Amino acid sequence: MVEHYDIAIIGAGPGGYSTALRAAQLGLSVALVEKDQKLGGTCLNRGCIPSKALIEATRTIADVRDGARMGINASIESIDFERLNRYKQDSVVSMTEGLSSLLKARGVTVITGSAEMTGPRQIAVSPSNQDHAPGSEDRRHRTGERTDGDSDRVARHAQACVRIIEADDIVLATGSRPRPLPDIPFEGTVIDSTTALDLPRFPRKATIIGSGTIAVEFASMWRQAGVEVTLLIRGDRVLSAWHRRTSQALTRSLKRQGVNVITHSHALRIDGSDRSQPSTALRYITEGDDGEHTLTTDIVLVAIGRDPNTDEPWFETNSLNLDEHGLVVTDEYGRTNLPHVWALGDITKGPGLAHRAFAQGLAIAETIAGLHPQPVDDNTVAKVVFTTPQAASVGLTLDQANDDDAVISAEETIYPMLGNPRIMMSGQPASLALVTGRYTELPDVTVLLGAHMLAPDAGDLIAEAEELIGNRVPLDRASSLIHPHPTFAEAMGEALLKADGRPLNTR
């Protein structure tokens, strides 16, 4: 029996479930297919939520230790890892069960199983543990050639799969997975972020390979919990694609916390990773040095990026257009090269962030429903790293603004964060840079183009900059907004005043 829906969505992460919720709200019938037993994708189950729960816990440890600076003498007796893991899991369960209830209330049909496109506007769903690749027995199907046996193929699916679903529109939200080192698989003591979050207790010594968000968040979290952490990075600073001043400030902060940051390094091999040895030996080289270096460690976390889940045979069979990185090629609204097939989130070009995928889902659902939403502008998608202190960034750096033909008269304003009393009280390093300029289409109006910061709660502070950038608020109006005193947010107000040529508490 074939079921019909207005929209069928493959993947129930933030992009998939936001599409489902908005489409159902607009009166469309929706099927949401997820291979995992729990909804929410990597973000809710294996990423954002469990990692931030642990970060919140270890931040408490750091706060207790920081008390001595203010005359509060306290100490950490021990970490009850059973209760800590229960706290982490309770956070996940609360979010996933809440999502399930919301989808049910909206009338979304949730289907558990592995989905694949079997033809135009059709998907087949099989049990998640069933290895069922359509056409795997026939080379012509794998290469996307149409054959007279296509009708037989659909019939076989009808027998082998739980459900055959036809939909007017299909949305692909299959997400991504951790990327391993070349020729060094994830096994034994060489782990990815998912395994790291499931460790029953923190390691004594940990080596992290990578310089991006996941790598530095684990480095900060584990170090605050007392783990001896070594961070191997390819360049001269973490977050190397970010605003230089911000990433340099975070690199210095990690070193100050006791993280051993080894720059310009390259891992060669890992010995003793099968857990049969008392320790794991990581061999690496550094730029300008002769010979190999060796690190002994309990665990090696590889956090060098993520790969899109687009390598299932049906992506090729259906002739979906992928780029050289395996990402689905779409227009600004998420349309693929196939009619009525859409893609979003980690399998599309752009920052692999949950909130971006969520916004893409809203835009796709509204477009399918016949509305005319604005597409997601990656320039207004904020990036946040939940280290201590936090790093956050949105919009253009000065170099990017100077390279953008649509921007003229770009300038950078550096605000000395220690001028903010709350920053000073926190005792944490901080940095704030604003980029301002004018667009060629509005040559008489100066606006905020970018904001890049390292500060306590920077993830919350960056939201104001995102609004100002996205709405192109004139700088003179933005700088006239009143910020409460004394707050961390007041630093943004002071920085805007300085950028507008009206500095008060700074030169």
Query: What is the spatial order of strands in the sheet that 190-191 belongs to?
Result: 190-191, 299-302, 205-209, 228-232, 260-262
Catalytic residue among 266, 340, 483, 485: 485
Residues of the chain with CATH 3.30.390.30: 389-500
In this structure, whether the domain defined by 389-500 belongs to CATH 3.30.390.30 is answered with yes
pLDDT computed for residue 160 by the predictor: 55
pLDDT computed for residue 159 by the predictor: 52
Annotated binding residues for FAD: 52, 174-176, 346
pLDDT computed for residue 132 by the predictor: 36
Instruction: Judge whether 229 and 260 are in contact, CB under 8 Å.
Output: yes
Annotated binding residues: 52, 174-176, 210-217, 305, 346
Q: Cα(214)–Cα(179) distance, rounded to whole angstroms? A: 12
Q: Cα(311)–Cα(320) distance, rounded to whole angstroms? A: 11
Interval 103-155: pLDDT, tens: 999 999 999 999 999 999 999 999 876 443 333 333 222 233 334 445 555 55
SS3 at position 331: coil
* Contacts for 241 with CB less than 8 Å, ≥ 6 apart: none
Give this prediction's pTM: 0.91
Architecture of domain 1-129+162-175+309-378: 3-Layer(bba) Sandwich (3.50)
The H or E element that residue 221 is part of is: helix 213-224
SS3 at position 60: helix
Instruction: Judge whether 373 and 364 are in contact, CB under 8 Å.
Output: no
pLDDT computed for residue 288 by the predictor: 79
Residues of the chain with CATH 3.50.50.60: 1-129+162-175+309-378, 179-304
Q: How far is CA 181 from CA 156, 186, 205, 302, 312, in A?
A: 38, 8, 20, 7, 21
pLDDT computed for residue 156 by the predictor: 52
| Bridge partners, 85 (sequence order) | none
Token look-up 């889940």 returns 309
485 as an active site residue: the answer is yes
Angle formed at CA 184 by CA 192 and CA 259, multiple of 5 degrees: 55
pLDDT computed for residue 272 by the predictor: 79
Q: How far is CA 164 from CA 32, 136, 170, 197, in A?
A: 13, 18, 13, 36
Residues of the chain with pLDDT under 70: 129-162, 275-277
Residue 248 token pair: 């340099």
pLDDT computed for residue 27 by the predictor: 98
Report the amino acid identity of residue 191.
I
Interval 301-349: pLDDT, tens: 999 999 999 999 999 999 999 999 999 999 999 999 999 999 999 999 9
Q: Cα(66)–Cα(18) distance, rounded to whole angstroms? A: 40
In this structure, whether the domain defined by 179-304 belongs to CATH 1.20.58.1610 is answered with no
Q: How many CB atoms lie within 10 A of CB 148?
A: 6
Annotated binding residues for NAD(+): 210-217, 305
